[in-house]
Structure 1
Amino acid sequence: MEIREMELEEIEPIRNLRLESYKEYEQFVSKEHWAVLKNTLISDNDLKNNAKIFVAELDDKIVGSVALFPPSIQAYDWSDTVQEFPEIRMLSVDPTIRGKGIGKALVKHCLKVSKEEQVTKIGLHTASFMKKALSLYESMGFERFPELDLEPMNDGIIVKALIMDLEKDTK
């Protein structure tokens, strides 16, 4: 598996992969909430804000992607929140080949890039119903930071904040 920065002409296949990867969560939210999530996945916010988009490639096929938003920018279309640290967003893995470490490898790549840029903390948000993602992040050393939790739709669905101190040894 190779992890590399996305080429601009790959954005549409990546957006399609995001939608395919997140489709399983549609059942956990209202139609309105799903519409907002879906729009976030295909928004050009990642291109406007100098985010780095990394892809995992296996046998010449993109099988995963992740966006790494720089600090001090608005990472979400629906929130004015600005983080003081980079944020990992939209981790996506082809649902037909999950469980092979692709997601973990993409997150590790974001950690490596952030350390190279001498960043001391990195964050992310994941919805309360994305239990496997939450488990992955916590197993890698991310810690809950409830003060930065979001409730984008005021519908009881909490988007949980997690932060990793990159100055500590990470898993």
Structure 2
Amino acid sequence: MLIRKAHDNEYDMIKKQRLASYAAYKHAIPEGHWNVLKGTLSSENVKDSGAEIYVSEINGDIAGSVVLFPSKTKAYEWDSQTLEYPEIRMLAVDASFRGNGIGKALVQHCIKQANEDGSTFVGLHTANFMENAMRLYENLGFRRIPALDFEPLDDGIVVKAFRLDLNS
């Protein structure tokens, strides 16, 4: 498995893969929430934000991707606040590659990058219906920061904050 920065010509495929990966949640959440999530997953905001998209490549195929937003950027289009820390977002693994540690490897790569960039911690948010993701993050040492949780659509879907302290 090779973890590398995504090439510009791969971005549309990565967005499609991301949408397919998250489609499993489509019927588990309200339609309005799904529509907002779908918009976020296919947003062009990533290109102009200074964020890096990393992919996992296996035998020439993109198995998954993740976005690492640097600190001092705006990770959410609907929020005017900028991040005070790097944030991991939009982790997605193609269904045919799941169970091979790809998500874990992509998150670990982001942790390593944030550490090399001199950050003291890295954060992320995940929705309360993404139980497997929360388990992954907790197993990697992330801890919950409930004070940074938010409910973007007032529909019962809580987006939970996690943070990992780094040893710079």
Q: Would you say same fold, with TM above 0.5?
A: yes
- In the alignment, which residue of structure 2 is the partner of 1:33? 33
State the Cα distance separating 1:11 from its structure 2 match. Answer: 0.3
The secondary structure found in structure 1 opposite 2:109 is helix
Q: Encode CA deviations 1:16-52: one digit per residue, 9 max, x unaligned.
A: 0100110001111111110100000000111110100
- In the alignment, which residue of structure 1 is the partner of 2:158? 158
CA RMSD of aligned residues (A): 1.0
Unaligned 5+ residue runs, structure 2?
none
Partner AA of 2:22 in structure 1: Y
Partner AA of 1:62 in structure 2: I
2:155, 2:65 → 1: CA distance?
Answer: 28
The secondary structure found in structure 2 opposite 1:28 is coil
2:77, 2:158 → 1: CA distance?
Answer: 17
1:73, 1:4 → 2: CA distance?
Answer: 22
2:138, 2:159 → 1: CA distance?
Answer: 15
- In the alignment, which residue of structure 1 is the partner of 2:11? 11
The answer (yes or no) to whether the contact 1:75–1:82 under 8 Å persists in 2 is yes
The answer (yes or no) to whether the contact 2:66–2:91 under 8 Å persists in 1 is yes
- In the alignment, which residue of structure 1 is the partner of 2:79? 79
Partner AA of 2:159 in structure 1: V
State the Cα distance separating 1:156 from its structure 2 match. Answer: 1.0
Q: Which runs of 4+ in 1 moved over 4 A?
A: none
1:145, 1:82 → 2: CA distance?
Answer: 17
- In the alignment, which residue of structure 1 is the partner of 2:22? 22
Question: Identity percentage over the alignment?
Answer: 49
- In the alignment, which residue of structure 2 is the partner of 1:48? 48
The answer (yes or no) to whether the contact 1:144–1:160 under 8 Å persists in 2 is yes
Partner AA of 2:52 in structure 1: K
State the Cα distance separating 1:95 from its structure 2 match. Answer: 1.2
Give the total of aligned pairs: 168
- In the alignment, which residue of structure 1 is the partner of 2:93? 93
- In the alignment, which residue of structure 1 is the partner of 2:140? 140
State the Cα distance separating 1:82 from its structure 2 match. Answer: 2.4
Q: Encode CA deviations 1:65-110: one digit per residue, 9 max, x unaligned.
A: 0000011211011223322100000000001221100000000000
1:57-136 to structure 2, matched below 5 A, reads 57-136=57-136
TM-score (norm 2): 0.97
